[in-house]
Amino acid sequence: MKAVWFTLVPMLAVAVLMLWGGERMARRTTEERVPADRGRLFDFTASFREELDRLDALYLQHLDELAAYAFRRSANQLSPHCENTVGIRKLLVFGPEGKRYEADGKKPAIGESSRIPQVLTESEAGRVSPKRAVVIPKEILEGNTPGKGWLAGPDSSHRVYWFRSSELYLVAFVIDQEELDRCLEAHCSTWMKVPFSPLSEAGELVSIQGPSGRPWLEAPPETQAGPAALVLPHRTNLGEWEVLAWDKLKIRSQHDPTVLASAACIAFVLSLAGIYLHAQQKRALRLAEERVSFVNRVSHELGTPLTNILLNLDLARRALEDRPAESRRRLSLVHEEVQRLGRLVSNVLTFSRGERRTLELRSIACTPDEVVEGILAQFQPSLDRRQVRVEWQRGASERTRLDPDALSQIVGNLINNVEKYASSGGWMGIETSMLGEQLHLRVSDRGPGIPADQSERVFEAFERVHRGVSEGASGTGLGLAIARDLARRMGGDLLLVSSDKGCRFELVLPATPALSVITQDNSSVA
């Protein structure tokens, strides 16, 4: 039975994909650009520039004071001051005759010492020219007026700041630009909490690029739609910064109702188709199982009476001369088995004709009680052996028009049902009556009964209260289905009505009185 899910699950999956694809196709996205708040942005940029200028002036002032102090101090005296100043890796003092001495600043991290450039004069550079060196031009070294400025290093990691006093001495500082940038970033990160809060609260998309190109403050990448709408640069002696701002984008999504409805309808149809195919497959598999079970049960039902017939015929033949009474009893049993076999074949043929829609009924004049009496007589020996007492309240002795063969088959199936499944109750009640132009027939027993939730299923083909083939009482599962089908074909119905104990089946059939034609010589013709 698990195989049927291979139809439903793919169909539902396709329906879900169709619904998802339809939603994607129906979606209409529009972008609305909201310009950045220029007023707040300019206010922050002005404050940021002012703070950078203040830090620039403060740092250069400190370097100038240290340079003026260096003319009158030794290298050992200068080293502690250099170590306590951010970014200083070396301090070099030059006189008219050349370099006098140098002092080391804060030690770099392990492995970074090789990156510190050497500071050489032009005369020294002529003899030795290392790759990582900064050459002080001759006009700066031999100048006779005070001054200061910056020299670029071999790369962006270091620069050289020079200062010349009125005593014609020149001081050069090797500045670690990366360390200086980190200190500036740490300071500005704390400082920006207050000035930047209006932009942050307004949801403005702002980024700040530091001197090294690394962002100090960065807007979420998914919000940076293309190039920045506004770039505000600022340059100081310590580096160059950029304040970048992006316009905000409001993305609005709408759905085309026609496309969405079409996708939903297709998905709904696919789901229904999957459910329908799933149900049909389950039904087909169930019917296949039931038909296989039916064939097994019919084979069993056919085999049992044939075996009994052969056995009883053999025993009757042996007792024919010596024990005539025993022989007659055996032949009586053979007669019962033949009748049983005939009823089984009749049920199978009736079911087959009903399936092919070739079953025809023939209404003739008959007496219902006589029909019931005839079929009851066939079952009486079997009921007696099972010690089932029969009580019959006759009330349908009028001649009516109906199909006696169909009535016989209905009554036979109802009695057979008692014989097989309710003989343990030891009693069967039959009641016939005529109410107007309707025949009412009730068959009751005191057997185990039928559960309420099975009261309709027992009338379906191949259905039984117990589904096993070897469950104790054999049967094809067609008796009640055929009985109800025949009743409805005759214009009536067969119902299972509630009962305190056992089962009670009630048959209602239209039974018009058989008309009689009176001739002139007072003879009647039915």
The pLDDT assigned to 287 comes to: 75
Contact present, 71 and 63 (Cβ < 8 Å): no
**Higher pLDDT, residue 429 or 325:** 429
* Residue 96: pLDDT over 50: yes
Which range scores top for mean pLDDT: 97-111, 466-480, 507-521?
97-111
| pLDDT > 70? residue 324 | yes
What is the model's pLDDT at position 241? 87
pLDDT of residue 95: 77
Alpha-helix residue ranges (DSSP H) falling in 192-322? 197-201, 257-319
pLDDT of 473 higher than 70: no
* Predicted pLDDT of residue 277: 83
Give residue-wise pLDDT tens across range 7-25. 778 878 888 888 888 888 8
- pLDDT of 295 reads 65
Q: For position 362, what pLDDT does the model report? A: 87
Query: Could you give the percent of the chain with pLDDT greater than 70?
Result: 83
Nearest to 409 by CA among 464, 335, 346: 346
* Single-letter amino acid, residue 82: C
Of 32-36, 79-83, 272-276, 349-353, least confident by mean pLDDT is 349-353
State the average pLDDT over residues 499-518: 83
pLDDT above 80 for 476: no
In the predicted model, what is the mean pLDDT of the chain? 81
Residue 409 is predicted with a pLDDT of: 87
Q: Evaluate if residue 123 carries a pLDDT over 60.
A: yes
Using pLDDT thresholds of 50, 70 and 90, give the confidence band for residue 370: very high
Residue 115, pLDDT score: 84
Higher-confidence residue: 151 or 520? 151
pLDDT score, position 58: 93
Out of 35-39, 295-299, 384-388, pick the least confident. Answer: 295-299
d(CA 39, CA 68): 44
Mean pLDDT of 196-212: 84
User: Measured between alpha carbons, how far is 505 from 498 in angstroms, rounded to an integer?
Assistant: 9
- Residue 453 gets which letter from DSSP? G
What pLDDT, on a 0 to 100 scale, did the predictor assign at position 220?
65
**Does the reported pTM lie above 0.95?**
no
Please tell me the distance from the alpha carbon of residue 302 to that of residue 347, in angstroms, as a whole number.
12
85 touches 95 (CB < 8 A) = no
HSE (side-chain half, CA atoms, 13 Å) at 522: 0
pLDDT in tens, 253-270: 888 888 888 888 988 888
Confidence of residue 293 (pLDDT cuts 50, 70, 90): low
DSSP string, 322-381: T-HHHHHHHHHHHHHHHHHHHHHHHHHHHHHHHHHT------EEE-HHHHHHHHHHHHHH
Mean pLDDT confidence for 386-392 = 93
Res 459: pLDDT: 87
- Average pLDDT, stretch 276-285? 82
- Compute the CA torsion angle 402, 404, 410, 414 (nearest 10 deg): 120
Q: For residues 94 and 70, what is the distance between their CA atoms, to the nearest angstrom?
A: 11
- Please, which residues have CB within 8 angstroms of residue 506's CB and are 6 or more apart in sequence? 440, 441, 442, 494, 495, 497
Distance of CA 260 to CAs 10, 266, 269, 273, Å?
A: 22, 10, 14, 20
Coil, strand or helix at 161 = strand
The closest of 474, 487, 479, 488 to 460, measured between CA atoms, is 479
Which has the closest alpha carbon to 66: 84, 51, 53? 84
Q: What is the DSSP letter of 425?
A: G
Inter-axis angle of helices 324-356 and 368-385, nearest 10: 130
List, for residues 155-201, the tens digit of each pLDDT value.
888 999 999 876 678 899 999 988 899 898 889 888 988 888 888 88
Lowest mean pLDDT among 126-130, 373-377, 391-395: 126-130
Q: For the segment 509-523, what is each residue's pLDDT rounded down to a tens digit?
A: 998 887 654 455 544
